[in-house]
A and B are shown apart, each in its own frame.
Chain A
Amino acid sequence: MRRYVLLRTLSILPALLGVSVAVFLLVRLIPGTVVDQMVGTEGSYSEESMRALRAFFGLDAPIHVQYARWLGAVLRGDLGTSWRTGLPVVQMIVSRLEVTVELTLVALLVAAAVGVPLGMLSARRENTTLDHVVRLVSLFSLSIPVFWQATMLILAFSLWLQWAPPVDFVSLARDPLRNLAIITLPGVALGTAVAAVFMRMTRSSVLEVMGQDYIRTARAKGLAEQGVLWRHALKNSLIPLITVAGVQMGYLLGGAVITEEVFTLPGVGRLLLWAVFQRDYPLVQGTILFISALFMVSNLVVDLLYAYVDPRIRRG
């Protein structure tokens, strides 16, 4: 297992390097250079001043030198300085990380709490009306845009219950109840589509496992159907869900941007949008790199977890 952990962990390094190249090149997609963008609307500059500005931002060096310098700084934990606030990008990201991580985890929890039992129920009642209804609901859930669902939730709660989620974010450690009041609705909105994916995966997985020989043996030795399901089928049918959860992390981290925007939550996603509209390129680069690294690390954790629960993976 130790060898597998080491090899799998090392395997994300080339991908991380590739992501760093892509993020570095992303800012080069803008028309002109970042200096042109900065000064474009703020008066005219002499060619000499422009040259000095380009030199200041290191844009006069060949592109591979620029990349090497940037990567060197990133490896030292320096993602640059925000052009608008003057604060280190890392500091700005870290101060908002708690919100995004909590939102993503709550959404994952909601998805598991709703999707897994419904998937099991659907599998147990295969081809009944209940099964069809659950599957139809899951298809609808997959088709709802997260920002519209979030908006409709806010509308429903404010119109019918005369209640709106508190605006000022409070951390879980400081005031757990208020924190939950803030984060639950966004978590439900973000987790709905993932719940549908979990439901579909659990259903097909339970159906597959229930058809296997060891389940027939369990039945043959006289075990009640509930016992077969809970003691024998469930554990194995939940294993594929770990992989699905990893894949869904990409959706959750992307969806967090838009959910944070709708519910005005001060997370990393909203920071990215702010940076985009402020044309704060170091901050855009830093947040995209950070979120992608977070996605890759969460996938790594998922893979390791998978290998832990399924020995065939680490021996394969």
Chain B
Amino acid sequence: MAESTLRPALRNALVLFGAGIIVAMVLLAAFASVVAPYDPTEMKVIDALQRPSLAHPFGTDRFGRDVLSRTIHGSRIALGVAISSIGLALVVGTALGLAGGYAGGATDLVIGRAMDVLFSFPTLILAIGIAAMLGPGLDNAALAIAVVYAPLFSRVVRGPVIAERAKEYSVAALGLGAGAFRVVFRHILPNVLAPLIVQASVSLAYAILTEAALSYLGLGTQPPAPSWGTMLNEGRTYLETAPWMSVFPGLAIMLAVLGFNLLGDGLRSVLDPQLRGR
């Protein structure tokens, strides 16, 4: 047995825990303005660097901004960037994988080599390079993340497409007069959805980490927007005097990434027939 996973009950509990984190995060992001006790960008220098208290459960930063409110609003940026960048990577990567796998020949060769080139860079280095050249900012960071992760989807789709294309149902559909476009989208795509969903869930975790890293380095979200990475960067100078500025945004990143990792693990065991029931 290649992989003996956790006991089903515990595994289900972990998947539920992961899903719970993500649902909580989505709700926080959606209702941030209602849930957050303060305006995340409102400065009140008189309250600067206050330790956690009832009034400010996560303390305040150097401008007197409420760290809890900024952490809650940070979920909007994290989720927004993760969903938009992975959404784009999913669409572009899947289209390239489908095109290469279905067409074969020169098309497949060119797409495959281009994807190989992108795979030859360490992920974060490529993201830093693209974000740096496009200029710091939220949109450019999302674009950089999309470029970096698109090859993953292309690779996930290409293999199954080649296998599905050779099967009788595809050949029959073509024989009945269906166009290549229809065969790919109506017949082949539904059969490669499972690995795509798993890849998307895991990639959302990577995207949150990458956005936070880019923002931490000053290449992603720019102040005063409350990105978790930017907040951690701002907290560096005050590490010994106001550690809460660094502790809570980091915990938020960890929980969000953990949520998507757990969900990805769970989805893999449910959707992958080889792991099902183990």
The answer, yes or no, to whether A284 is at the interface (CB within 8 Å) is yes
Identify the stretch in A53-61, A83-91, A151-159, A301-309 within 8 Å (CB) of chain B at 4 or more residues: A151-159
A-contacting residues, B1-53, CB 8 Å: 1-4, 6-7, 10, 14
Q: Chain A's nearest CB lies how many Å from the CB of B198?
A: 15
B-contacting residues, A16-34, CB 8 Å: 16, 18-19, 21-23, 26-27, 29-31
| Assembly CA distance A250 to B206 (angstroms) | 14
Identify the stretch in A67-75, A224-232, A272-280 within 8 Å (CB) of chain B at 4 or more residues: A272-280
Mark A274-299 against chain B: 1 for CB-CB distance below 8 A, else 0: 00110000001000100110011000
List B contacts of A113 (CB < 8 A). Answer: none
What 17 new A-B contacts, CB under 8 Å, besides A145-B254, A204-B3, A296-B120? A15-B117, A18-B116, A132-B10, A139-B261, A139-B262, A142-B257, A143-B255, A145-B257, A148-B254, A152-B247, A204-B4, A207-B3, A251-B123, A254-B123, A255-B124, A258-B124, A292-B122
Mark B232-243 against chain A: 1 for CB-CB distance below 8 A, else 0: 100110011001
| Assembly CA distance A38 to B106 (angstroms) | 41
Whether B246 lies near A127 (C-beta < 8 A) is no
Whether A31 lies near B253 (C-beta < 8 A) is no
List B contacts of A211 (CB < 8 A). Answer: 1
List B contacts of A273 (CB < 8 A). Answer: 128, 217
Q: Chain A's nearest CB lies how many Å from the CB of B131?
A: 9
Whether A22 lies near B118 (C-beta < 8 A) is yes
The answer, yes or no, to whether A135 is at the interface (CB within 8 Å) is yes
The answer, yes or no, to whether B129 is at the interface (CB within 8 Å) is yes
Whether B250 lies near A145 (C-beta < 8 A) is yes
List A contacts of B257 (CB < 8 A). Answer: 142-145
Q: Chain A's nearest CB lies how many Å from the CB of B212?
A: 6
| Nearest neighbor of B259 in chain A, beta-carbon distance | A143
List A contacts of B249 (CB < 8 A). Answer: 148
Task: Report which of A29, A140, A261 forms a contact with B254, defined as CB distance below 8 A.
Answer: A140
Which of B4, B10, B130, B261 gathers the greatest number of chain A CB atoms within 10 Å?
B4
Identify the stretch in B91-99, B132-140, B185-193 within 8 Å (CB) of chain A at 4 or more residues: B132-140
**Interface residues in A, total, Cβ within 8 A:** 57
Mark A29-70 against chain B: 1 for CB-CB distance below 8 A, else 0: 111000000000000000000000000000000000000000
Which of B1, B212, B255 gathers the greatest number of chain A CB atoms within 10 Å?
B1
| Assembly CA distance A207 to B6 (angstroms) | 13
Residues of A whose CB lies within 8 Å of any CB of B are 14-16, 18-19, 21-23, 26-27, 29-31, 126-127, 132, 135-136, 139-140, 142-148, 151-152, 154-155, 158-159, 204, 207-208, 211, 249-251, 253-255, 257-258, 261-262, 272-273, 276-277, 284, 288, 291-292, 295-296
| Assembly CA distance A277 to B133 (angstroms) | 10
Whether B1 lies near A207 (C-beta < 8 A) is yes
5 nearest A-B pairs in the assembled complex, by CB-CB distance: A254-B124, A148-B250, A18-B117, A29-B133, A143-B258
The answer, yes or no, to whether B86 is at the interface (CB within 8 Å) is no
The answer, yes or no, to whether B216 is at the interface (CB within 8 Å) is yes
Which of A15, A127, A250, A295 gathers the greatest number of chain B CB atoms within 10 Å?
A250
Given contacts A31-B135, A253-B122, contact A147 B213 (CB under 8 A): yes
Q: Chain B's nearest CB lies how many Å from the CB of A198?
A: 15
Q: How large is the interface on B (under 10, 10 to 19, 20 to 34, 35 or more residues)?
A: 35 or more
Whether B2 lies near A288 (C-beta < 8 A) is no
The answer, yes or no, to whether B276 is at the interface (CB within 8 Å) is no
The answer, yes or no, to whether B87 is at the interface (CB within 8 Å) is no
Task: Report which of A140, A148, A207, A251 forms a contact with B122, defined as CB distance below 8 A.
Answer: A251
Q: Chain A's nearest CB lies how many Å from the CB of B254?
A: 5
Whether B123 lies near A284 (C-beta < 8 A) is no
List B contacts of A15 (CB < 8 A). Answer: 116-117, 120
| Assembly CA distance A288 to B219 (angstroms) | 16
Whether A207 lies near B2 (C-beta < 8 A) is yes
The answer, yes or no, to whether B209 is at the interface (CB within 8 Å) is yes
Whether A18 lies near B246 (C-beta < 8 A) is no
Whether B117 lies near A22 (C-beta < 8 A) is yes
Whether A155 lies near B6 (C-beta < 8 A) is no
Whether A284 lies near B124 (C-beta < 8 A) is no
Mark B242-278 against chain A: 1 for CB-CB distance below 8 A, else 0: 0100110110011101100110010000000000000
List B contacts of A135 (CB < 8 A). Answer: 6
Whether A272 lies near B236 (C-beta < 8 A) is no
Q: Chain A's nearest CB lies how many Å from the CB of B167?
A: 27
| Assembly CA distance A16 to B113 (angstroms) | 11
| Nearest neighbor of B127 in chain A, beta-carbon distance | A254
List A contacts of B123 (CB < 8 A). Answer: 250-251, 254
Given contacts A127-B4, A211-B1, contact A29 B121 (CB under 8 A): no
Q: Chain A's nearest CB lies how many Å from the CB of B147?
A: 10
Q: Chain A's nearest CB lies how many Å from the CB of B53?
A: 20
| Nearest neighbor of B262 in chain A, beta-carbon distance | A139
List B contacts of A250 (CB < 8 A). Answer: 121-123
| Nearest neighbor of B143 in chain A, beta-carbon distance | A29
Whether A145 lies near B133 (C-beta < 8 A) is no
| Assembly CA distance A288 to B120 (angstroms) | 11
A-contacting residues, B129-160, CB 8 Å: 129-130, 132-135
Which of B117, B134, B243, B255 gathers the greatest number of chain A CB atoms within 10 Å?
B117
